[in-house]
Structures are given as structure tokens and as C-alpha cells.
């Protein structure tokens, strides 16, 4: 545990004494009493996914691509290995990432959704509450997806719905609700669920305010918050007698909740290390901020000593809270849960069967798009437009730069898609070819007989037909950042730094003169 305090603060006599006591208290209390799970297995384990948004896998161009439905499947399988009864649920946009799909993307999006249904069935999902993007799709595709699902769809045809389910001897009430649900109906259904089940779980699609309002009305033990569409998972938060849970987006991870139920109907206590760490961070920040202010006031001398006493008292109280947070506690005899967020990093294991399903999906999408877009030509040249000619046309005059490019990641960009059966995938191809959807450029399938595959010279320096005929026609010498970030954005290139990246591109043969063999640097 770390308590961050500025050096100037630590120099004051008051703070030296305060910190010594606090550090000693923390040191003595750093080992907590065994958790309930150390004495008995959980009654139930809940794995939840929020706002999956139809993502089968992340873009592979980031430094640490998070997610992937095959990694999710492997993690769920690992959760079953110790024999704890497992419930898997999802809330928020599950199958689609937009309300209105671009016409060209409809078929690929529908294929994604069908594949996802099959994977979720294999994972053993029990119920989903679909989001607004899902329900905005045509009824015929929704009915097809429902019919193919072994799991329940809740609150898809009404705004509040209940299903009963039993896991490991525990009788569960699964409630689904969405923004705009009638609160009286939620209250009535929640009361019925509480009286007839051992545990009730509410799946919500809506805002944070919606989740709080629906949680308070339903009286559910746990609430799964879908509809936030944010990357950062949120630690469990209380809402009257309920606990609201969240699990990131796009399948980047899942929240796992171990439930220890000792008394039906009794409230649950949060014993999550995740929550303690969140609270510890909040207290540390408040302690550091207030300590710095007190030090500044003391140094200035422009204050009445009595005026600082309330501030010192508040600081001491914060320190006490921080120490109590780390102190050992006896195991709870009531109902307890422990939640954790499992981030699915690129080194996480994958489910082999699901990986094969995804490979077959990619092959099918590739073939379908190759046929569907076979005749799709780029926009025609307009007045003043210049056609693309491909990087080979540059090689006669720029042999050194061309050779360098062929061995650069830009030169192999299309090959990386071909190796994965994604060269006709609409989510990928645009950043792996040159002049995509530009006048005289390329499309999903049209690329001047492979002359425009890869991120070629013209991607950075502009279309080159005129320059290849007359070198006096200028091209872009230094590529502006706006060109790069069209593809090197946060989603696809999280470590991209324009100034640093440009330095790796301006090299001998490409922006710098090639040194003659055996030459020595000129004297400075």
C-alpha cells in the first residue's frame, strides 16, 4: 500500500508524527483476515459482460489488443474448473455497434451477430438484455437470432421481464429492464422475484441514472449495468439494498462475482479487494491534497492557528479511515460477495473451438464480400483530381525509398490481412490499402491489380499519376499528422506519437541521403 505525500508536507513536525503513526498502523494491519472463500466455496459465481457491441475480436494493430470472444470463452471455461455453480449473463448492446447500419455493412454485421450467438451458446450464457442498437435492427434478423439462441432474451419485446433459473440448487430470479420501464411494474415484479427466489439479479440497458432507479424499485440483490458504453470497468457501487456491477465494453474483460449467501433475503456486504483498492486510492488522493494545503498554510504564516484545527482534524480522520481500510476484519457471518474484473489481454489463453469458429467466420465473410463487392469501383476522377498509380511506379526514380518501403510494416500491411483471411473485411481493409474510396484509388476489391495494396507511397505523399509523368508536379513532402491519424488512432494504434513516429520514417534512402560505402561523417 502506498500513501503518496509531497516532500514539503512530510517535513512539517505535525505531518512527520502523523505519517509515522499511520504507516505503523498500516503495517500492522496489512494482512487481512481470511475471506469467506478461504473457509467455504462460493454459493454462486456470476460472470457478466456489458456492451459487447458485436465485437468478435479486437483490432490486432494495438500494443495490447484487449478482448476477443475466444479469450472470453477460455476465461469462462476456467471459471468452471473449481466446480462453483456459474451464471453467465450479458447486458447492453450485445450484437450490434450501431442503430443504423451502412448498407454495405449489413451482411457482414448480420454474419457477425450469427457467429456471436453460436459462441455465446457455447460459453453457456443464460440470459441477455439486448441494447438499443440491437433492437433497432429489422425484426426478421432479430427473430432469426432469437431462434438460434439457447439463452433467454429479456426485455426485448417489453421493457420489463422476469425469468426463473436454477444454478447449483440456488433458485434465481433474472429480471430484465430498460430505460423507460414502468417503475410500479418493476417494483411489483421485483417483490415477486424476492419472495419466490433465493437471489434476484436485474439486467439493465440504460444510463447510470436508469440503473439506480430500476435497482431501487426492484430491490434486486445485484444489478448488471449495460448501456454505459465505456472502456473502464466500474467497481461495485451500492444502491440502497442492491449492488450495481459493470464490466467494460467490446468484450475487453468480464466482471466475476463470487457470492456467499448464508441467509436468504439478507443484504450483501462487499468484501472485494477491487472496491478496497478503489477506496484506498480515493483516500490517498484526499490525504495528499489536504496535507499539501495544510503545509502551504503553515509555511505562509498568514492564518490563525485555531483556523487550521478543523483541517488537521479532518486529515486525522482520513488517516484513520485509511488505516481501518487495511486493518484485519473477522470473517462475515452474513451474505458477502467478492467482485473482480478480469481483463482479457493478448497473452490470455484462447478457446480452440471458438478460435476455429472465428476462422471459419472470417473465411465466410471474406468470400461473401469478395463476391458482393467484385464490381465496386472507386469514385471517378473529378476536375482537378489525380489518379493513383501504385508504389511500383515510384521505384524508377526513388529506388532506395521503394526498397526501404517494401521491407517496412506499411509495405506488408495487406499481407497481414491476407494471412488472416481479412483482406475483404470492411472493418480492416481501409487502412491496409492505398487510396481507399478516393477518386481514382481503391475499394474493398479494386486495387489496380494489387498495385495499391499495402500502405504505399501515395498514402502519405498523395496520388502520383501526374508526378510520375512530370516530376515538376509537386507531391506532399512531409506527411501531416492529420493524414496519419486517420488510421493511427486510439482504437487501432494506441501508442502512436506523430513526432516520434516521423523520426522512424525519415531514414537514409527515404528522406535522408544514402551514405556511400566507407564514407566518414563530415567534420562538425
Superfamily of domain 36-271+332-352: Metallo-dependent phosphatases (3.60.21.10)
Nearest-10 crossing angle of helices 305-326, 273-300? 160
The pLDDT of residue 454 is 96
Cell numbers linked to 227:
448501456
Pinpoint the alpha helices (H) of 373-396.
Answer: none
Stretches where the chain sits below pLDDT 70 are 1-39, 515-524
How far apart are the C-alpha atoms of 482 and 290, rounded to whole Å?
42
How far apart are the C-alpha atoms of 192 and 198, rounded to whole Å?
12
Residue 375 CB neighbours (<10 A): 9
CA distances from 501 to 247, 319, 413 (A): 33, 45, 17
The pLDDT of residue 137 is 98
Exposure class string for 463-485: b at 16+ Cβ within 10 A, else e = bbbbbbeeeeeebeeebeeeebe
The pLDDT of residue 4 is 38
The pLDDT of residue 506 is 86
How far apart are the C-alpha atoms of 464 and 474, rounded to whole Å?
9
DSSP letters spanning 11-39: TSHHHHHHHHHHHHHHHHT-SPPPPHHHH
The pLDDT of residue 326 is 80
How far apart are the C-alpha atoms of 159 and 176, rounded to whole Å?
8
How far apart are the C-alpha atoms of 233 and 274, rounded to whole Å?
11
List the Cα angle 90/125/191 in 5-degree steps.
65
The pLDDT of residue 517 is 58
Cell numbers linked to 442:
481503391
The closest alpha carbon to 208, from 255, 245, 156, belongs to 245
CA distances from 414 to 79, 104, 172, 485 (A): 38, 21, 50, 18
Pinpoint the alpha helices (H) of 41-168.
Answer: 69-80, 106-123, 132-135, 139-148
List the Cα angle 215/218/219 in 5-degree steps.
80
- Cβ contacts of 182 within 8 Å, gap of 6 or more: 159, 160
The pLDDT of residue 327 is 81
The pLDDT of residue 518 is 59
Among the CATH numbers 3.10.150.10, 3.40.50.450, 3.40.1130.10, 1.10.1130.10, which is that of 376-512? 1.10.1130.10
Residue 277 CB neighbours (<10 A): 13
Cβ-contact 239, 213 below 8 angstroms: no
Domain boundaries, the chain: 7-30+276-326, 36-271+332-352, 376-512
| Unique residue bearing C-alpha cell 476489391 | 445
How far apart are the C-alpha atoms of 56 and 50, rounded to whole Å?
14
Amino acid at each position: 500500500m502506498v500513501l503518496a505525500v509531497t516532500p514539503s508536507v512530510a517535513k512539517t513536525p505535525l505531518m512527520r508524527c502523523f505519517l509515522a503513526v499511520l504507516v505503523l498502523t498500516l503495517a500492522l494491519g496489512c494482512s487481512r483476515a481470511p475471506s469467506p472463500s478461504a473457509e467455504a466455496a462460493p454459493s454462486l459465481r456470476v460472470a457478466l459482460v456489458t456492451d459487447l457491441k458485436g465485437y468478435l475480436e479486437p483490432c490486432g494493430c494495438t500494443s495490447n489488443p484487449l478482448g476477443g470472444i475466444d479469450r472470453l470463452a477460455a476465461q469462462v471455461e476456467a471459471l468452471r474448473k473449481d466446480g462453483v455453480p456459474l451464471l453467465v449473463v450479458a447486458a447492453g448492446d450485445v450484437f450490434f455497434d450501431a442503430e443504423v447500419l451502412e448498407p454495405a455493412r449489413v451482411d457482414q454485421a448480420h454474419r457477425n451477430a450469427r457467429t456471436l450467438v453460436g459462441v455465446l451458446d457455447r460459453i453457456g450464457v443464460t440470459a441477455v438484455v439486448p441494447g438499443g442498437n440491437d433492437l433497432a435492427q429489422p425484426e426478421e434478423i432479430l427473430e432469426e437470432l432469437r431462434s438460434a439462441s439457447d439463452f433467454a432474451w429479456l426485455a426485448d419485446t417489453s421493457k420489463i421481464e422476469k425469468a426463473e433459473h436454477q444454478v447449483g440448487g440456488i433458485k434465481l430470479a433474472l429480471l430484465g429492464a430498460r430505460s423507460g420501464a414502468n417503475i410500479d411494474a418493476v417494483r411489483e415484479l421485483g417483490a415477486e422475484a424476492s419472495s419466490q427466489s433465493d437471489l434476484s439479479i436485474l439486467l439493465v440497458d440504460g444510463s447510470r441514472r436508469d440503473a439506480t432507479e430500476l435497482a431501487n424499485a426492484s430491490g434486486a440483490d445485484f444489478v448488471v449495468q449495460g448501456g454505459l458504453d465505456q472502456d473502464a470497468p466500474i467497481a461495485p457501487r451500492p444502491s440502497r439494498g442492491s449492488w450495481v456491477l459493470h464490466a467494460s465494453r467490446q468484450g475487453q474483460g468480464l466482471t466475476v462475482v463470487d457470492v456467499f449467501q448464508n441467509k436468504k433475503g439478507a443484504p450483501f456486504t462487499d468484501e472485494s479487494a477491487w472496491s478496497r483498492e478503489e477506496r484506498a486510492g480515493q483516500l490517498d488522493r484526499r490525504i495528499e491534497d489536504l496535507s499539501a494545503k495544510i503545509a502551504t498554510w503553515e509555511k505562509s504564516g498568514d492564518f490563525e492557528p485555531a483556523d487550521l484545527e478543523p483541517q488537521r482534524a479532518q486529515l486525522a480522520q482520513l488517516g484513520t479511515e485509511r488505516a481501518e481500510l487495511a486493518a484485519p476484519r473477522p470473517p462475515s457471518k452474513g451474505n458477502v460477495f467478492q467482485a473482480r474484473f478480469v481483463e482479457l489481454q493478448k497473452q490470455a489463453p484462447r478457446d480452440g473451438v471458438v478460435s476455429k469458429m472465428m476462422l471459419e467466420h472470417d473465411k465466410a465473410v471474406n468470400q461473401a464480400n469478395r463476391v458482393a463487392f467484385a464490381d465496386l469501383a472507386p469514385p471517378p476522377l473529378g476536375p482537378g483530381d489525380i489518379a493513383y498509380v501504385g508504389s511500383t511506379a515510384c521505384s524508377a526514380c526513388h529506388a532506395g525509398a521503394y526498397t526501404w518501403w517494401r521491407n517496412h510494416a506499411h509495405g506488408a500491411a495487406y499481407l497481414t490481412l491476407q494471412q488472416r483471411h481479412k483482406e475483404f473485411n470492411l472493418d480492416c481493409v481501409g487502412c491496409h490499402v492505398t487510396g481507399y474510396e478516393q477518386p481514382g484509388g481503391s475499394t474493398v476489391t479494386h486495387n489496380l491489380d494489387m498495385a495499391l495494396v499495402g500502405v504505399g507511397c501515395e498514402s502519405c505523399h498523395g496520388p502520383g499519376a501526374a508526378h510520375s509523368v512530370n516530376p515538376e508536379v509537386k507531391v506532399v513532402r512531409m506527411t501531416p499528422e492529420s493524414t496519419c491519424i486517420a488510421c493511427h488512432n486510439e482504437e487501432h494504434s494506441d501508442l502512436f506519437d506523430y513526432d516520434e513516429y516521423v523520426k522512424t520514417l525519415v531514414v537514409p534512402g527515404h528522406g535522408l541521403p544514402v551514405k556511400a560505402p566507407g564514407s566518414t561523417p563530415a567534420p562538425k
